[in-house]
A and B are shown apart, each in its own frame.
Chain A
Amino acid sequence: MRHVSAELHRYVDPHSTELVAAIAALGDDEFLHRTIEANHRSLARLTACFDDLHIRYVKTAANFVLMLLPTEEHAGRFFEGCLDHGLILRPVKPFGIANGIRISSGTDDETAFAVKVIEQVWTDIMKLANASACD
């Protein structure tokens, strides 16, 4: 029995309950529109920040945006740097994109916090790169 349950997590997607709740929420127009607006506002703020910092990203129609950093090493350092400042992002290496970091839309307050952290961490990474290029 233990053998079977240990194997099962390979095949079962852990998100099935959320899907039922998500479908029910789609029937609530007011909630749906508030959600869409909040999502657009957050993603517009985040992508404006990426444009300012010259960070590449994939154009999105979802509730997240995929950042494409120059290398896997940049992505690792960026992810860890954000953690040091209290911002949890999602590396997508397990999904096959080693230089990719995914960020989901947040509330206005969360987005403002994320922008501040991203600017700080990315500026630090670039400074370090320029310093070693001058050595």
Chain B
Amino acid sequence: MITIPKHALTLKPYQAGKSISELAREKKLNRIVKLASNENPLGLRRKRRPL
């Protein structure tokens, strides 16, 4: 049995932002743009090195 320290119980889990698929289900929209995630708008770089 793992016991969780009291101070840790007050931490709140990360709340993710709204997703494109979620919004697409909720509303009829021609276009959805998500500027909510701090991702690189250019996407992944083309060059990839093996890890």
Contact = CB atoms under 8 A, between A and B. Distances in A.
B39 A104 contact: yes
Interface residues of B, number: 34
A52 B32 CA distance: 24
23 contacts: A10-B8, A10-B11, A11-B11, A14-B16, A27-B49, A28-B45, A28-B47, A35-B42, A63-B40, A86-B30, A86-B33, A88-B18, A88-B33, A88-B34, A89-B36, A90-B36, A94-B12, A94-B15, A104-B37, A104-B39, A106-B33, A107-B41, A110-B41
Interface string A1-22: 0011001011101100000010
B14 A87 contact: no
Interface in B19-43: 19-20, 23, 27, 29-42
A125 B8 CA distance: 41
Nearest to B17: A90
Interface of B: 2, 4, 8, 11-20, 23, 27, 29-42, 44-47, 49
- Main SS at interface, chain B: loop
A110 B11 CA distance: 35
Given A7-B4, A87-B32, A90-B36, 15 more contacts: A4-B2, A10-B11, A21-B44, A27-B49, A31-B42, A83-B23, A86-B31, A86-B33, A88-B18, A88-B23, A89-B36, A94-B12, A94-B15, A103-B35, A104-B39
